[in-house]
């Protein structure tokens, strides 16, 4: 009886693992096949002919896909960086200090998630027109940051609370100035949270379509906007190609971000990738 | 010159007064203990000395310099916290080097010093280890080496031995004493264990409820506690009620000459200053606890219970009668307050 239970205990997590893996990898595989499909009539299991026109579309230069991809990655990186920059001190204030309106502040940072995006977008659009921020890159970056803050704030507040300030106090009595304490103790200890929050902010910004479209007014084209017509028009081959590029770029940025941070701050705990 | 001088220190934590007027002075190279139960404010006191807490009132002088406006990193006071707080992102030698690195000591010099210190705390060969892979005792050694490497003028130890098993603790005590002798570093140890305090420190400050009750040499604090509270802190003890008239203390156990003003007194006498004699007498043996190197016995005479410590060679049986000799010269007298019943 016990032996059966043990086997069941081992089998169940493995089954879940494989189902998860399958449900993630299967669509990716389909995307990859679609990217190179020439004609794929029903009821064939695999495409009848293959074509490489997606490579010309993506990397040929005439579509401008790579330039948009590059500027889009840059915008999202700036958004991720700025969100973290704002969230670290804000999270410290929430974790370590008691001040008037603390609960209210925590609540309003969550508002962009609670309020429907359309309502949020309209309000922002009107405000940004008044501030001359609409149709500008800065406007797009700001609106992305507002959208990312609930997530980065939540993650970094949790990590800051869990870390506490004990290590910082130890550093101070060992002779570290407040700046040195932040640089050599606080930042490395927060690094898992920073990597998680940064990746989250990056992906939220990178996949943002509606808000970018509204605030950017069509002047600011990001990669997700660039993809949209292809998905809508039904050219599955090109749409799949862009999707693959979208996923691959995000993955590459995550790996780059994490490796750089860990090398710089000597953090050894693995968060996403080894 | 005094390494540390504290005058009338008051400290509050979230509106509650924790330290209520502390006076303390420590000479250079001295080892002192702050002894008291948990919650008496001893950890608050060392945190205030190190500049992690701001006093409401009072002054702290470190090497004659008023520390009021000195940031923690400028004070030269290093705490080894009870929970050790090794930096998890650094390995053993990087932890030890931390203080020197912050002061801008060159890499080769700090590495050289760290290696010497790791050898002193018997942790050679562990340089590249992750700190989370160390045992409790090893972590303690690294924390100690890291503190000493920062070259503090005052080393503050917060309950350094509580989390260790008995054997590790004894080795650590030896190590700390050895390092103290070797480096002559002014050291303040916070502890609730009276045996550690007696064993290690030149002077003991007994604390209770945010105040220092007595600050004197270990011998004095043990043998001549200024209040029954302090006497009780160092273990079981006996109190004899009596009267002093014209220089003679009279109690149910006998008389002795003293030079104190007349009045009602309580005499404190430690169990080891009473001598049990196996010849039958007025005292009934109520209980015996055998502790290997000694025997603790509880004796009763009329309504007076007395704790007595005897050597293991003394043969005692519960329920039998014995007699007792009191060494009145070791007695400590506390005057009883006369309450006017009106």
Q: Is residue A273 part of a domain?
A: no
Helices (H), chain A: 2-35, 53-59, 65-96, 102-114, 117-130, 137-163, 166-173, 178-181, 187-206, 210-216, 223-233, 236-265
- In which domain, by residue range, is B329 found? 236-335
pTM here is 0.83
Nearest to B52 by CA among A56, A220, A119, A176: A176
| A27 vs A36: CA distance, rounded Å | 15
Any domain includes B38? yes
Q: Are residues A251 and A143 part of one domain?
A: yes
B341 within a domain of the structure (yes/no): no
Shared domain for A43 and A124, answered yes or no, is no
Q: Across the interface, which of A167, A173, A180 has its CB nearest the CB of B52?
A: A173
Ramachandran angles phi, psi of A18, nearest 5°: -70, -35
Q: Is residue A24 located within the same domain as residue A132?
A: no
Mean pLDDT of successive 10-residue stretches along chain B, which has 342 residues: 91 92 94 93 94 94 90 94 92 95 94 93 91 90 94 93 85 91 92 92 94 94 91 89 88 86 90 85 87 88 88 83 86 78 49
Does B118 fall in a domain?
yes
d(CA B37, CA A55): 75
How large is the ipTM?
0.84
Per the CB < 8 Å rule, is B102 touching A180?
A: yes
Most confident range (mean pLDDT) of A36-50, A70-84, A217-231 is A70-84
- Beta strands B321-326 and B274-277 are antiparallel
**Residue A219 pLDDT greater than 90, yes or no:** no
| Inter-chain CB proximity B90 and A266 less than 8 Å | yes
pLDDT recorded at residue A7? 62
Predicted local confidence at residue A5, as pLDDT: 58
A180 shares its domain with A240: yes
In a domain, A148, yes or no: yes
Q: Does B133 touch chain A (CB under 8 A)?
A: no
**Average pLDDT for A30-34:** 91
Percent share of chain A, pLDDT over 90: 51
Identify whether residues B167 and B247 lie together within a single domain: no
- For A8, the domain range is 1-51
pLDDT value at position A266?
Answer: 65
Helix, strand, or coil (residue B8): strand
Residues B175 and B200 in one domain: yes
Residue B161 lies in a domain: yes
B194 vs A266, higher pLDDT: B194
Instruction: State whether A260 and A179 are in the same domain.
Output: yes
Show the tokens assigned to A68. 């948009």
What was the pLDDT predicted at A269?
54
Residue B244 counted as domain residue: yes
Name the residue in chain B with its Cα closest to that of A175: B73
A10 & A139 share domain = no
* A26-35, A54-63, B156-165: the lowest-pLDDT one: A54-63
Q: Check whether residue A111 and residue A40 sit in a common domain.
A: no
- A166 and B73 in contact by Cβ < 8 A? no
Q: Is residue A135 scored above 50 in pLDDT?
A: yes
Distance CA B11, CA B21 (A): 8
* Residues A137 and A180 reside in one and the same domain: yes
Reply yes or no on whether the pLDDT at A231 is more than 90: no
Query: Does one domain contain both B296 and B215?
Result: no
Residue B107 near chain A (CB below 8 Å): no
The answer to whether position B340 is within a domain reads: no
Instruction: Judge: B102–A184 Cβ closer than 8 Å, yes or no.
Output: yes
Residue of A nearest to B79 (CA): A173
**The predicted structure's pLDDT at residue A158:** 93
Average pLDDT of the residues in A124-144: 92
CB contact under 8 A, B88 and A189: yes
Residues B227 and B265 grouped into a single domain: no
Q: Are residues B7 and B152 in the same domain?
A: yes
Among B232, B262, B290, identify where a domain stops.
B232
Distance between B144 CA and the closest CA of chain A, angstroms: 12
B132 at A interface, C-beta within 8 A:
no
CATH number, domain of B245, equals 2.40.50.140
Q: Give the position of tokens 């007699």.
A: B323
Average pLDDT, rounded, for chain A: 88
The pLDDT score that the predictor gives to residue B338 is 65
Residue with the bigger pLDDT between B288 and A202: it is A202
For residues B56 and B179, membership in a common domain is answered with: yes
Distances in Å between the alpha carbon of B242 and those of A94, B115, B150, B253, B259? 62, 62, 55, 9, 15
Q: End of a domain among B232, B247, B264?
A: B232
Q: Do B253 and B199 lie in a common domain?
A: no
For residue B103, list chain A residues with Cβ-Cβ distance below 8 A: 175
Instruction: Tell me the CATH number at B14.
Output: 3.40.50.300
Cβ–Cβ below 8 Å for B98 and A265? no
Judge if B217 and B306 occupy the same domain: no
Output the pLDDT for position A216.
87
- Mean pLDDT, residues A197-223 taken together: 91
Residues B260 and B127 occupy one common structural domain: no
> Is B290 contained in some domain?
yes
Both B225 and B242 in a single domain? no
pLDDT band at A60 (very low <50, low <70, confident <90, very high): confident
A73 in the same domain as A37: no
Q: Are B89 and A169 within 8 A, CB to CB?
A: no
Token output for B329: 């010269």
Taking CA–CA distances from B98, the nearest residue in chain A reads: A174
If asked whether residues B88 and B142 sit together in one domain, one would say yes
CATH at A94: 1.10.3720.10
Per-residue model confidence as pLDDT tens digits over A239-249: 899 999 999 99
Residues B38 and B124 in one domain: yes
How many domains is chain A built from?
Answer: 2
Q: Do A71 and A28 fall within a single domain?
A: no
Residue A52 DSSP label: -
Distance CA B218, CA B33 (A): 9
Q: Is the pLDDT of residue A273 over 80?
A: no
Domain identity same for A128 and A232 = yes
Number of domains in chain B: 2
Q: Do A13 and A117 belong to one domain?
A: no
Helix, strand or coil, per DSSP, at residue B265: strand
Q: Is residue A185 part of a domain?
A: yes
Contact (CB<8Å) A266/B72: no
């Amino acid at each position: 009886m016990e032996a059966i239970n043990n086997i069941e205990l081992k089998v169940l997590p493995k089954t879940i693992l494989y189902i998860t893996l399958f449900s993630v990898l299967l669509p990716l595989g389909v995307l990859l096949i679609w990217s190179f499909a020439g004609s794929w009539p029903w009821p064939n299991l695999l495409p009848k002919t293959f074509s490489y026109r997606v490579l010309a579309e993506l990397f040929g230069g005439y579509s401008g896909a790579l330039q948009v991809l590059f500027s889009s990655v840059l915008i999202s990186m700036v958004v991720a960086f700025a969100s973290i920059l704002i969230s670290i001190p804000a999270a410290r204030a929430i974790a370590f200090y008691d001040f008037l309106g603390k609960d209210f502040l925590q609540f309003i940072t969550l508002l962009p998630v609670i309020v429907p995006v359309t309502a949020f977008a309209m309000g922002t659009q009107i405000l940004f027109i008044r501030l001359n921020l609409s149709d500008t890159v800065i406007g797009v970056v700001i609106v992305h940051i507002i959208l990312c803050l609930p997530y980065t704030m939540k993650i970094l507040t949790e990590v800051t609370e869990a870390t506490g300030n004990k290590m910082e106090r130890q550093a101070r009595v060992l002779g570290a100035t407040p700046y040195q304490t932040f640089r050599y103790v606080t930042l490395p200890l927060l690094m898992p949270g920073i990597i998680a929050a940064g990746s989250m902010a990056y992906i939220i910004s990178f996949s943002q379509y509606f808000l970018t479209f509204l605030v950017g007014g069509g002047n600011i084209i990001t990669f997700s906007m660039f993809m949209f017509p292809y998905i809508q028009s039904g050219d599955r081959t090109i749409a799949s190609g862009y999707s693959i590029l979208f996923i691959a770029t995000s993955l590459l940025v995550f790996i780059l971000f994490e490796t750089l941070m860990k090398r710089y701050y000597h953090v050894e705990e693995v968060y996403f990738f080894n | 010159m005094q390494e540390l001088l504290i005058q009338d220190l008051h400290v509050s934590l979230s509106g509650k007064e924790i330290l209520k007027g502390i006076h303390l002075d420590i000479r250079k190279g001295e080892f002192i203990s702050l002894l008291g139960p948990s919650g008496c404010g001893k950890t608050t006191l060392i945190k205030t000395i190190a500049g992690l807490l701001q006093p409401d009132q009072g002054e702290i002088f470190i090497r004659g310099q008023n520390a009021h406006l000195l940031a923690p990193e400028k004070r030269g006071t290093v705490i080894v916290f009870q929970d050790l707080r090794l930096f998890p992102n650094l390995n053993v030698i990087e932890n030890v080097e931390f203080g020197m690195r912050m002061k801008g000591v060159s890499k080769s010099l700090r590495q050289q010093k760290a290696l010497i210190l790791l050898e002193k705390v018997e942790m050679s060969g562990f340089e590249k280890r992750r700190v989370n892979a160390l045992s409790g005792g090893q972590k303690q050694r690294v924390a100690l080496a890291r503190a000493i490497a920062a070259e503090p003028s005052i080393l503050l130890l917060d309950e350094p031995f509580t989390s260790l098993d008995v054997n590790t603790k004894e080795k650590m005590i030896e190590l700390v004493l050895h390092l103290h002798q070797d480096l002559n570093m002014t050291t303040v140890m916070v502890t609730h264990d009276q045996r550690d305090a007696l064993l290690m420190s030149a002077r003991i400050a007994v604390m209770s409820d945010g105040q220092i009750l007595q600050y004197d040499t270990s011998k004095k604090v043990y043998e001549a506690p200024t209040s029954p509270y302090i006497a009780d802190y160092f273990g079981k003890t006996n109190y004899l009620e009596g009267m002093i008239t014209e220089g003679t203390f009279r109690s149910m156990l006998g008389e002795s000459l003293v030079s104190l003003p007349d009045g009602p007194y309580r005499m404190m006498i430690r169990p080891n200053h009473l001598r049990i004699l196996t010849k039958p007498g007025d005292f009934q043996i109520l209980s015996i606890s055998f502790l290997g190197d000694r025997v603790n016995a509880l004796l009763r005479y009329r309504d007076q219970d007395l704790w007595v410590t005897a050597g293991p060679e003394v043969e005692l049986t519960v329920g039998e009668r014995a007699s007792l000799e009191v060494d009145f010269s070791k007695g400590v007298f506390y005057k009883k307050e006369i309450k006017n019943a009106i």
